[in-house]
Amino acid sequence: MIDLYSDTVTCPTPGMRRAISEAVVGDDMLGEDPTVNQLEARVAGMLGKQAAVFTCSGTQSNQIGLRTHCQPGDELLINSTGHIANFEGGAPAALSGVTVRTIEAPKGLLSPDDVCGMVNADDQHLCETRLLCLENTTNLGGGCVYPLQQMQQLAEWAWSSGLRMHLDGARLFNATAEGGYSLEDVGQCFDTISICFSKGLGCPMGSILVGNRKQIHRARRIRKLFGGALRQAGMVAAAALYALDNNVDRLREDHENARRLAALLSDIDGILLNADDVETNLIYFEIAEGFGSAVQLNNALADFGVRMCPLGNSRMRAVTHLDVNADDIPVVASAVRDAMASGIADRQVMGTGPHPK
């Protein structure tokens, strides 16, 4: 199957499995796992930060990050399509007692104008506005890349307004592959940054939260509180180190494949897609009215050995990644063309399909 459901569906390669099996490990909760320590120091250095803490998942690392900055009763600001606001099970409220105030923004990219005036006055009736969260690349926003200057302006605004800055950088390496800026440039715009190894980088699990020494010290306490402190985690940190060596530079191939696929899809009758909107490895498109639903298309694609991710009634997401190669792209486009030509609107379906990870 050519699986474009998400960049999380990748399986560890033989090389990565070898790195995992050969990892030197110790008890990470005692700070004694050399592979975890190496990974944390390396990623902190890449972002120009003092420290990092390895976590189980992107959700966990975002939630540890926001709890590092916020107390129960505080609020955070985030674009309305943000993963933290929509796809983490209500965790800001459930785990930290934090209110999420969402802000509409095209492509999920906030601008200084969008946030201006959003900090509550010092009034006992109101939440204390504590944190601004950005996402780069934006997931539901379309895999879009923040311009560096926009992040810098938002940081300047947030810090001068007494807020902290957190980046959900689940796909930060996809952003820096296209954005024309470095990880260190990004590091300068945020207090804490979360990065996933289980997305385009091909690892079986693992994320990381970076920040200054004091914040990461506190983040370690919260990781323990949230049940995420680990023992011989070098087994998985080794996969992340392997990914940094082998799977970062190739992300442009995924973006190239995504743009080629988008161009082919945009020519198909009943598919609404502006190929120019595709900036990284996430492709979103609409199925035109009367042509059937996204679930119907996905079911039809299964007959051709292709899977995508239906979102609601008419929206579909397709994601390129390590396990999708250039030769797969025309195959996928033909499958969509043939499925649409066969007429999907009459297909019997159950449910509305899964949600995007």
Contacting residues toward ligand PLP, per CB under 6 A: 57-59, 62, 83, 135, 139, 168, 170, 196, 198-199, 207, 357
Output 28 or 135, the one with its CB closest to ligand PLP: 135
| 290 backbone φψ class: left, alpha, beta (φ>0; ψ -120 to 50) | left
Ranked by CB distance to ligand PLP, the top (closest) residue is 58
Output 49 or 83, the one with its CB closest to ligand PLP: 83
Q: Please tell me whether residue 108 adopts helix, strand or coil conformation.
A: helix
Minimum CB–partner distance for residue 175 and ligand PLP (Å): 11
Residue type, 56: C
Minimum CB–partner distance for residue 58 and ligand PLP (Å): 2
Output 60 or 215, the one with its CB closest to ligand PLP: 60
- Name residue 272's beta-bridge partners: 286
Minimum CB–partner distance for residue 7 and ligand PLP (Å): 9
Output 57 or 257, the one with its CB closest to ligand PLP: 57
Give residues with Cβ within 8 angstroms of 149, minimum separation 6: none
Minimum CB–partner distance for residue 138 and ligand PLP (Å): 7
Radius of gyration of the chain (CA): 21
Crossing angle of helices 213-225 and 58-69, rounded to 10°: 120
Minimum CB–partner distance for residue 339 and ligand PLP (Å): 26
Q: Please tell me whether residue 229 adopts helix, strand or coil conformation.
A: coil
Strands (E) across 119-181 are located at 128-135, 164-169
Minimum CB–partner distance for residue 67 and ligand PLP (Å): 15
Spatial contact of 66 and 222, defined as CB atoms under 8 Å apart: no
Output 68 or 207, the one with its CB closest to ligand PLP: 207
Spatial contact of 4 and 306, defined as CB atoms under 8 Å apart: yes
Could you give the CA distance from residue 80 to residue 40 in angstroms, rounded to a whole number?
31
Minimum CB–partner distance for residue 193 and ligand PLP (Å): 12
Minimum CB–partner distance for residue 77 and ligand PLP (Å): 16
Output 59 or 247, the one with its CB closest to ligand PLP: 59
- Name residue 194's beta-bridge partners: 168, 209
Could you give the CA distance from residue 154 to residue 132 in angstroms, rounded to a whole number?
9
- Name residue 195's beta-bridge partners: 169, 208
Cα pseudo-dihedral 100, 194, 86, 271, rounded to 10? 140
Output 34 or 204, the one with its CB closest to ligand PLP: 204
Output 280 or 298, the one with its CB closest to ligand PLP: 280
